[in-house]
């Protein structure tokens, strides 16, 4: 087995969160430093959201809001402008770029940071299975049988898909059951096939667009308990002023009433509701942490999906294509809770029930799981995270969501103590912060963790 030299920092996960962490550590380092990223995929920055090569899979945020650096909000646009000098900067900033372009941007900025610093970065294409705390470092047991020692560890494991919510779904044969993030498998679906997409959020949009762009002509059934689909951004929406202090002082029900009234007032003045939601956007973490535990539970039970479709919007062009598919009857939306999925010789029979007790039965050839991101650590199927909880080095976050972390991102152990040198960011902090998946939050967390690491991690 090859010998792995000890590292100052080990970053577990090489998607957007892990790549941003490495980028900010490299940029802030002023001396020798050894950094390792553990990521099985061949390219860094190509996490689940940005790995797609499809041009129709667009970022859900305009390019002007996608910088890797808080202090340089136009950096992604600067990078795009270098490749497209003939396009006006204002047009680039307002555009919804293919997601692969953001992955390319992260890789380019990471390469620049490596060239400009004495610090070294190695990419290990292997998974970490176990983590053990030693006297002065952490020992990571890797899937290839080797052990990596690191003075500090950052968990940036990214998102895991939820399982299909139907009895028998796990027994469906390969090819009949497809994950929404498995674009090559979706591309293998015959154009005339009957397809059911379970879930109606952003993952559904990706799956539907992959099919439609490939010329799919068969029916597409979309099934979810609420039947809500992502809403569009609007062009040229004005900025909106909002009294966040007043909102933060209210309990959940009062906040919802105040928000509805604010939107009604704005629309009466010709301001779209999207402007009001965007005014809340930078303050969501504060709004979440100022809710009582009971109100947080109420939000998760009754409000979360309504919030998601207004908060996590899609490019207008993508929304128009989905609406066109609905108008011609190809894309059919069903509001129902699935109960069973039974594979036959040639099809899969899905059965469910709506809120008034009416039965839904669909016979399709393929079922695409687009139920979104799994939030419960125990259900993610990640052996490292499960082992961390088993060892008492971590504990589930509030409401069983993600991992519990201190404000600086350090993991809390089973007794609630924040641990030196062990950090998490991104989706793992969703229970504590709620808004923890988007690039503004990821880059802010990465910047903060990099500063903490460089103040505490040995570099010799």
pLDDT tens-digit map of 395-428: 999 999 999 999 999 999 999 999 999 999 999 9
Query: Is the pLDDT score of 459 beyond 50?
Result: no
Residue 455 pLDDT greater than 90, yes or no: no
Edge-first strand order for the sheet with 331-335 is 177-179, 366-369, 195-198, 220-224, 331-335
Measured distance CA(283)–CA(285) in Å, rounded: 6
Examine residue 79 and state whether it is found in any structural domain, yes or no. no
Cβ-contact 227, 334 below 8 angstroms: yes
Q: How many CB atoms lie within 10 A of CB 83?
A: 12
Q: Are both 197 and 221 inside the same structural domain?
A: yes
Residue 77 forms part of a structural domain: no
Nearest to 197 by CA among 188, 187, 186, 303: 186
Last residue of a domain, one of 311, 339, 361: 311
- 305 found inside a domain: yes
Helices (H), 340-438: 383-390, 430-433
- 184 and 227 housed in the same domain: yes
258-317 pLDDT per residue, tens: 999 999 999 999 999 999 999 999 999 999 999 999 999 999 999 999 999 999 999 999
- Report how many domains make up the chain: 3
pLDDT value of residue 388 = 95
pLDDT at 47 over 80: no
CA torsion angle 404 200 101 449 (round to 10): -10
Residue 460 has a pLDDT of 36
**Residue 238 lies inside a defined structural domain of this protein:** no
Residues contacting 150, CB < 8 A, separation 6+: 6, 7, 8, 9, 10, 36, 137, 138, 140
Residues 222 and 335 in one domain: yes
Does 1 score more than 60 pLDDT? no
252 and 212 share one domain: no
Sign of CA dihedral 312, 317, 319, 322: negative
Q: In this structure, are 174 and 323 located in the same domain?
A: yes
Element (H, E) at 420: strand 418-424
Structural domain harbouring 322: 169-231+314-369
Instruction: With respect to residue 210, please indicate whether it lies within any of the assigned structural domains.
Output: yes
**Is 438 within a domain?**
yes
* Residue-wise pLDDT tens digits, 53-105: 777 889 999 999 999 999 999 999 999 999 899 999 999 999 999 999 999 99
Domain co-membership, 50 together with 110: yes
- Band of residue 235 on the pLDDT scale cut at 50, 70, 90: confident
Domain ends where: 338, 354, 369?
A: 369
Alpha helices by DSSP H, listed for 45-178, are 75-83, 89-94, 99-116
């Amino acid at each position: 087995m090859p010998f792995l030299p000890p590292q100052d920092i080990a970053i577990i996960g090489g998607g957007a969160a892990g790549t941003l962490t490495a980028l900010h550590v490299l940029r802030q380092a002023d001396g020798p430093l050894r950094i390792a990223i553990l990521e099985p995929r061949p390219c860094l920055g190509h996490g689940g959201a940005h790995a797609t090569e499809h041009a129709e899979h667009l970022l859900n945020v305009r390019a002007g809001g996608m910088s890797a650096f808080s202090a340089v909000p136009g950096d992604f646009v600067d990078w795009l402008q270098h490749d497209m000098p003939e396009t006006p900067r204002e047009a680039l900033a307002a555009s919804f770029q293919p997601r692969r372009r953001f992955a390319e941007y992260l890789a380019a900025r990471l390469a620049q940071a490596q060239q400009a610093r004495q610090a070294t970065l190695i990419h290990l294409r292997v998974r970490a299975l176990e983590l053990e705390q030693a006297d002065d470092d952490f020992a990571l047991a890797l899937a290839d049988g080797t052990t990596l020692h690191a003075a500090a560890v950052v968990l940036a494991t990214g998102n895991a898909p939820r399982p299909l919510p139907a009895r028998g779904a796990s027994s469906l044969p390969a090819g009949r059951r497809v994950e929404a993030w498995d674009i090559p498998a979706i591309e293998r679906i015959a154009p005339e096939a009957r397809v059911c997409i379970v879930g109606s959020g952003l993952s559904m949009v990706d799956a539907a667009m992959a099919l439609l762009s490939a010329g799919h002509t068969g029916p597409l059934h979309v099934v979810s308990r609420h039947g809500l689909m992502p809403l569009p951004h609007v062009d040229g929406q004005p900025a909106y002023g909002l009294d966040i202090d007043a909102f933060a002082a209210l309990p959940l029900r009062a906040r919802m009433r105040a928000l509805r009234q604010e939107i009604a007032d704005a629309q009466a003045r010709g301001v779209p509701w999207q402007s009001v939601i965007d005014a809340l956007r930078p303050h969501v973490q504060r709004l979440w942490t100022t809710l009582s535990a009971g109100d947080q539970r109420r939000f998760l039970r009754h409000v979360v999906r309504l919030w998601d479709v207004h908060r996590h919007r899609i490019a207008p062009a993508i929304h128009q294509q989905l609406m066109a598919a609905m108008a011609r009857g190809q894309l059919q939306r069903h509001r129902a809770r699935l109960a069973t999925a039974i594979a036959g010789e040639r099809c899969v029979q899905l059965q469910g029930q709506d809120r008034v007790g009416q039965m839904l039965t669909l016979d399709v050839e393929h079922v695409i799981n687009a139920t979104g991101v799994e939030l419960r650590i125990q259900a993610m199927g990640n052996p490292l995270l499960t082992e961390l909880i088993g060892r008492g080095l971590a504990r589930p976050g509030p409401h069983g969501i993600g991992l519990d972390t201190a404000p600086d991102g350090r993991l809390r152990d089973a007794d609630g103590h924040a641990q030196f040198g062990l950090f998490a960011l991104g989706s793992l902090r969703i229970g504590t912060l709620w808004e923890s998946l988007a690039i503004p939050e990821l880059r802010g967390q990465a910047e903060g963790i990099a500063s903490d690491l460089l103040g505490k991690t040995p570099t010799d």
